[in-house]
Structure 1
Amino acid sequence: MPTLFEPPLLTRLKAADRILIAGAGGGFDIYAGLPIALALRAAGKEVHLANLSFSHLYGLDAEVWLEPEVARITPDTRSAERYFPERTLARWLRLHRMPETVWAFASVGVRPLRKAYRALTSHLGIDAILLVDGGTDILMRGDEAGLGTPEEDMASLAAVAGLPGIPERLVACLGFGVDAYHGVSHTLVLENLAALDRAGGYLGAFSLPRDSREGRLYLDAVEHARDAFPEHPSIVHGSVAAALEGRFGDVRFTDRTRNSELFVNPLMTLYFTVTVEALAARNLYLRRIEETHLMRQVSSAIEEFRDSLPGRRPPRMFPH
Structure 2
Amino acid sequence: MTFLHANPLFTRLADAERILVAGAGGGFDIYSGLPLALSLRHQGKEVHLANLSFSALAGLPAEDWAAPDLAVITPDSAPHQSYFPERTLAQWLRLHGHPATVYAFPQTGVQPLRAAYRALIERHDIDAVVLVDGGTDILLRGDEAGLGTPEEDLAGVAALAALDDVPHRLVVSVGFGVDAYHGVNHVQVLENIAALERDGAYLGAFSIPRATREGALYLDAVEHAQQHTPEHPSIVNGSIAAAVRGSFGDVRFTDRTRGSELFVNPLMSLYFAFDLPGLADRCLYLDRIEDTQLIRQVHSRIAEFRDTVVTRPPRRFPH
User: Could you say whether these structures have the same fold, taking a TM-score greater than 0.5 normalized by the shorter chain as the test?
Assistant: yes
Deviations along 1:268-297, one digit per CA (max 9) or x if unpaired, are 010001111111000000000001001000
Q: CA deviation at 1:40?
A: 0.7
Q: CA deviation at 1:14?
A: 2.2
Which residue matches 1:76? 76
1:41 touches 1:47 (CA, 8 Å); kept in 2? yes
Which residue matches 2:260? 260
Within a 5 Å distance, the mapping from 1:65-214 to structure 2 comes to: 65-78=65-78, 80-214=80-214
Deviations along 1:152-188, one digit per CA (max 9) or x if unpaired, are 0011110011100000000001100000011101100
Please say which of residues 77-86 and 214-223 is displaced more in the overlay.
Answer: 77-86
Deviations along 1:19-41, one digit per CA (max 9) or x if unpaired, are 00000001000011111111111
SS at structure 1 position matched to 2:57: coil
Deviations along 1:204-243, one digit per CA (max 9) or x if unpaired, are 0011111100000000000000001111110101101111
1:69 touches 1:105 (CA, 8 Å); kept in 2? yes
Q: Is 1:218 paired with 2:194?
A: no
Deviations along 1:104-145, one digit per CA (max 9) or x if unpaired, are 011100000000000110011000000000011100000111
Deviations along 1:62-89, one digit per CA (max 9) or x if unpaired, are 1111111001101011254321100000
1:60 touches 1:79 (CA, 8 Å); kept in 2? no
- What is the distance in 1 between the residues matched to 2:3 and 2:90? 34
- What is the distance in 2 between the residues matched to 1:34 and 1:167? 22
Within a 5 Å distance, the mapping from 1:273-284 to structure 2 comes to: 273-284=273-284
Q: CA deviation at 1:196?
A: 0.4
Query: Share of identical aligned residues, percent?
Result: 68
Cα gap change, 1:79/1:292 in structure 2, threshold over 3 Å: closer, same or farther? farther
Q: CA deviation at 1:259?
A: 2.1
The letter for the 2-side match of 1:23 is G
Which residue matches 2:314? 315
Which residue matches 2:11? 11
Q: Is 1:294 paired with 2:294?
A: yes
The letter for the 2-side match of 1:140 is L
- What is the distance in 2 between the residues matched to 1:225 and 1:87? 10
Q: CA deviation at 1:148?
A: 0.7
1:59 touches 1:79 (CA, 8 Å); kept in 2? no
Q: Give 5+ residue unaligned stretches, structure 1.
A: none
Runs of 4+ in 1 over 4 A off after TM superposition: none
The letter for the 2-side match of 1:316 is R
The letter for the 2-side match of 1:314 is P
The letter for the 1-side match of 2:145 is A
SS at structure 2 position matched to 1:14: coil
Q: Number of aligned pairs?
A: 319
Please say which of residues 2-11 and 61-70 is displaced more in the overlay.
Answer: 2-11
Which residue matches 1:237? 237
- What is the distance in 1 between the residues matched to 2:143 and 2:7? 30
Within a 5 Å distance, the mapping from 1:58-69 to structure 2 comes to: 58-69=58-69
Q: CA deviation at 1:7?
A: 1.4
Q: CA deviation at 1:3?
A: 2.2
- What is the distance in 2 between the residues matched to 1:287 and 1:203? 25
SS at structure 2 position matched to 1:103: strand
Which residue matches 1:251? 251
- What is the distance in 1 between the residues matched to 2:19 and 2:313? 38
